[in-house]
Structure 1
Amino acid sequence: MTDDLATKTCTPCKGGTPPLSPEAVAHYAKQVPQWEVNGDATRIARTFRFRNYAGAFAFVARVSEIAEEQGHHPDITFGWGYATVTLQTHKIKGLHENDFIMAARIDEIAGGEPAA
């Protein structure tokens, strides 16, 4: 990795900050290759698979701890055997480096769980 995103810390983002350019999104997306960039490059998402509901719930709890530490909160849906995490910076209606930092940190805690 060129930038070790997982070692970075999210920084407060102010309204008026422009979202990342398509080129910057492509650069960061290479560093978290299991995350999908939506068509207009305003969100990234990844679905994680688990053996059961308890595994998905425990993962969501770990993600929420990271979100609180970083002050950057993803949208999460989960159920039996899965959790889908979606990241975007709502204040700028697009993607910011923080979204990719969170993605890298979430990938670290996913451990050996198989991903969709």
Structure 2
Amino acid sequence: MTVTTLVTKTCTPCQGGIPPLTSDEVAALQKQIPDWSIQDEARRIERTYTFRNFAEAFAFVRKVAELAESEGHHPDVSFGWGYATVSLQTKKIQGLHENDFIMAAKIDDLADNISLGP
């Protein structure tokens, strides 16, 4: 069986009414996004990225917003001089869904490949 990496998947609309991922499912998916931490008793994942200055952090946040719009899955983002913190959870199910891990993998890929300028 071939394992599909999270970054190659697309978020699917979540209508609610489904259970959040189990702790075993969360642990298995987190292996693909090891720099993200599990928060709030496995209801949320979070990562802080660092940058050289405010402009780079802002450019990253703008790219994350564009990605979120294209995937239809929107993280909570806070940023300031030299950092951006991204938090993901599926609010409709008050916990984690595979979409959260897909977005995390795509945000990591974005961070690895972003061109922020000089």
Q: TM-score, normalised by structure 2?
A: 0.92
Equivalent in the alignment of 2:16? 15
Equivalences for 1:1-116 in 2 at 5 Å?
Answer: 2-111=3-112
What is the distance in 2 between the residues matched to 1:109 and 1:55? 13
Residue 70 of structure 1 aligns with an amino acid whose one-letter code is E
Q: Quick check: which has more Rg, 1 or 2? A: 2
What is the distance in 1 between the residues matched to 2:38 and 2:81? 24
What is the distance in 2 between the residues matched to 1:105 and 1:38? 19
Q: TM-score, normalised by structure 1?
A: 0.93
Structure 1: tracts of 5 or more residues without a match: none
**Secondary structure class of the residue paired with 1:20:** coil
Shift of 1:25: 0.2
What is the distance in 2 between the residues matched to 1:56 and 1:105? 17
Structure 2: tracts of 5 or more residues without a match: none
Indicate the RMSD between aligned Cα atoms, in angstroms. 1.5
Tell me whether 17-26 or 104-113 shows the greater mean CA deviation: 104-113
Shift of 1:15: 1.5
**Secondary structure class of the residue paired with 1:32:** coil
Shift of 1:112: 6.8
What is the distance in 1 between the residues matched to 2:38 and 2:80? 22
Shift of 1:2: 3.5
Give the aligned length. Answer: 113
Residue 108 of structure 1 aligns with an amino acid whose one-letter code is D
State percent identity of aligned pairs.
61
What is the distance in 2 between the residues matched to 1:39 and 1:78? 21
Shift of 1:97: 0.2
What is the distance in 2 between the residues matched to 1:5 and 1:62? 19
